[in-house]
Amino acid sequence: MRGVSIPTHEYARVAEAYVQSFNVPPAARDPTLLVEARNLTMSTRAYTRVILRLRAQAEREASEAAAVKAYSPPASIKKVNGYASSRSSPSRASSRAPSPNSSFSNSNGHSQQLYSQPSAAGPAFRSPLFRIKRAPLLRTFVPSPDGDWLSDKSVLECEAELKRAGVIGLLRMGDVIWDVAVGDEGNVGRLVWDGSYLIDLDYKYSTVGDLPQYLPTLAFPPSYFHRVIRTGPASSNPVVHVDISPWGQEIAANLQLLQDRVRTETPQGAYHNVVRWVHRSSFVIRAPAKPRMSISGRSRPPSPRIPIPESSGLFVDPGWYGTIVVETEGTNEALADLQDRCPGAFPPRAGGPPTVVLKEAKDAKKVFKILREKSRPGEIWIRAVGPKERLF
């Protein structure tokens, strides 16, 4: 409760005062400051444990609801006023007693559930601290003597804090850990768990930081890091790392040079439409065919998944199933860059034999931006990020 109620800027204030106290003799230090720092450390440990507990509960309720929906009989059909009406049978009430902390009383004195129980209609999990199919934002409290930028020693101390909290074995690739002691501006203090260690964000294409290239974006839902890893003030389109080479033949077949109208804002605050040329193509990530029910009807084999190349056993998240629209500038340089992202799909260009591509250049061909204003469920728009957009 302390971790939820205390404003996030209070952590940074206490951490700064705690670090400054080491510049004075031990006898002159404020003893209450040490107690306050210890309380905040314990609060972040408890907060992290609660967040992971909520994730386990949300995923359990979602899986149970999906199983009930998959194996439930079809709804009965009744005719009402001459028209067919589908009415499902009322779900069986849960025999589990509600938690004393999960309800509140309204003005009439009746108790209302703050977190509803799962039903056959779908997952009913509700929490302001965690959303299913979103990255959890876990917390640590490690005052940094180096300021906003966490040193290697501070990062190792954040990992040690996760061990002390007893959650190191519950972390998953893509979990975001925030050292609240360094502030709440942009993505300051945010680290990502890569499956074994905490790693920093990537600052090659953004001043506020983006997901590192070690995390293949296709392994997570498209909106998995939305508002957890913040975007810069100039653009709300996050940088992602997608290898489109497996769909190169389809991209080459659907490539078109089109005119596009873009609404831009002038420095004076006015908006006007600009016509530009763009190269645009698309490909479809098709969901694998579901396995048929066994003859006995008792068990169902696991659904097949699409593996991600060079990802150590990761698979494409179902949130990416559908049409992916790829866009780049309408210049010859941008077209050549798109062709390099799909090796073997386009005819070889004139200029001699192909050169050896270094790993760094190969990773740069996987950088895109999700165009949020154009994307919708079943159709994700991405734009190729060229080397000119790199900050360093």
What is the number of alpha carbons within 13 Å of residue 76 lying toward its C-beta? 6
Which residues contact residue 262 at a Cβ distance below 8 angstroms, ignoring those fewer than 6 apart?
A: 273, 274, 275, 276
* Tokens (6 digits) for 116: 């509803």
Q: Mean per-residue pLDDT for 187-193?
A: 95
Report the pLDDT value the prediction gives residue 1, as an integer from 0 to 100: 86
Q: Is 251 helix (H, G, I), strand (E, B) or coil?
A: helix
Query: How big is the chain by its Cα radius of gyration, in Å?
Result: 26
Contact 177, 162 (CB under 8 A): yes
Mean pLDDT for 336-364 is: 80
Gap between the Cα atoms of 57 and 49, Å rounded: 12
- pLDDT score of 294 more than 60: no
Average pLDDT over residues 184-201: 94
**Contact (CB, 8 A) for 191 and 177:** yes
- List pLDDT tens digits, range 213-227: 889 999 999 999 999
pLDDT of 210 higher than 50: yes
Residues 62 and 91: beta-carbon distance below 8 Å: no
* Over residues 190-200, mean pLDDT: 95
For 55, 291, 298, 391, the CA distances from 69, given in Å and listed in that order, are 21, 17, 16, 49
Pair 264, 339: CB distance under 8 Å: no
Residue 107 confidence (pLDDT): 39
For residues 102-130, average pLDDT: 52
More confident residue, 352 or 283: 283
Largest CA distance in the chain: 88
Residue 96 has pLDDT above 80, yes or no: no
Ramachandran angles phi, psi of 80, nearest 5°: -125, 115
Evaluate the CA torsion angle 353, 354, 356, 361 in order and state its sign. positive
Question: Are 232 and 208 within 8 A, CB to CB?
Answer: yes
Least confident of 53-62, 63-72, 315-324: 63-72
Q: What is the pLDDT of residue 274?
A: 84
pLDDT classification of 101: cutoffs 50, 70, 90: very low
pLDDT (0 to 100) of residue 126: 85
Q: What is the Cα–Cα distance from 148 to 57, expressed in whole angstroms?
A: 34
Cα angle 249, 250, 256; round to 5: 110
Residues 191 and 200 sit within 8 Å (Cβ to Cβ):
yes
What pLDDT, on a 0 to 100 scale, did the predictor assign at position 66? 81
3-state secondary structure of 190: strand
What is the average pLDDT value for the chain, to the nearest integer?
83
The DSSP letter of residue 283 is E
Of 25-39, 147-161, 320-334, which one has max mean pLDDT?
320-334
Share of the chain above pLDDT 90, in %: 55
User: Is residue 25 predicted with pLDDT exceeding 80?
Assistant: yes
- pLDDT above 50: residue 392: yes
Q: Show me where the domains of the chain are located.
A: 2-62+129-200, 240-291+303-389
Measure the CA–CA gap between 66 and 265, rounded to whole angstroms. 45
Q: Is the pLDDT of residue 335 over 80?
A: yes
> If you average pLDDT over residues 258-268, what whole number do you get?
78
pLDDT at residue 353, as a whole number: 56
